[in-house]
């Protein structure tokens, strides 16, 4: 169950940078801040729950890895961020590192 909490925490980790991006626009500033705080809270709570059974270093690395890779893809597909081969390779390395931590646990 701890790994389910951790994966959900990582996926929800994507929500707060999106909220902060929304907060850059005057018309969605308050909504963006609310979204960011909501996702930070839920993601942090799930990370806390996962850390009851998963070592802190592993859980934090997996949490941030999922959040970083997911936020990268949201940026590329929804915000026009550059999707160069080198950037995709970098995200692939993050994913490989997260998978290694999971299987080495």
Residue 105 has pLDDT above 80, yes or no: no
Domain that holds residue 37: 2-104
- C-alpha 49/C-alpha 62 separation (Å) is 14
The model's pLDDT over 28-75, given as tens digits with 9 standing for 90+, comes to 999 999 999 999 999 999 999 999 999 999 999 999 999 999 999 999
The rounded Cα 80 to chain-centroid distance in angstroms is 18
Q: Are 60 and 43 in contact (CB under 8 A)?
A: no
Q: What pTM does this model have?
A: 0.90
Mean pLDDT over all residues of the chain? Answer: 96
- Rounded to an integer, the average pLDDT of 9-30 is 97
Q: Residue 103 has what pLDDT?
A: 85
**Domains identified in the chain, total number:** 1
């Amino acid at each position: 169950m701890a790994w389910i909490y951790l994966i959900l925490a990582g996926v929800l980790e994507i929500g707060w940078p999106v909220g902060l991006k929304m907060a850059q626009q005057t018309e969605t500033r308050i909504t963006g801040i609310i979204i960011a705080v909501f996702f930070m809270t839920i993601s942090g709570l799930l990370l806390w729950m996962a850390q009851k059974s998963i070592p802190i270093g592993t859980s934090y690395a997996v949490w941030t890895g999922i959040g970083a890779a997911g936020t990268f893809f949201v940026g590329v597909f929804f915000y026009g961020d550059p999707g160069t081969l080198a950037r995709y390779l970098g995200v692939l390395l993050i994913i490989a590192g997260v998978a290694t931590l999971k299987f080495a646990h």
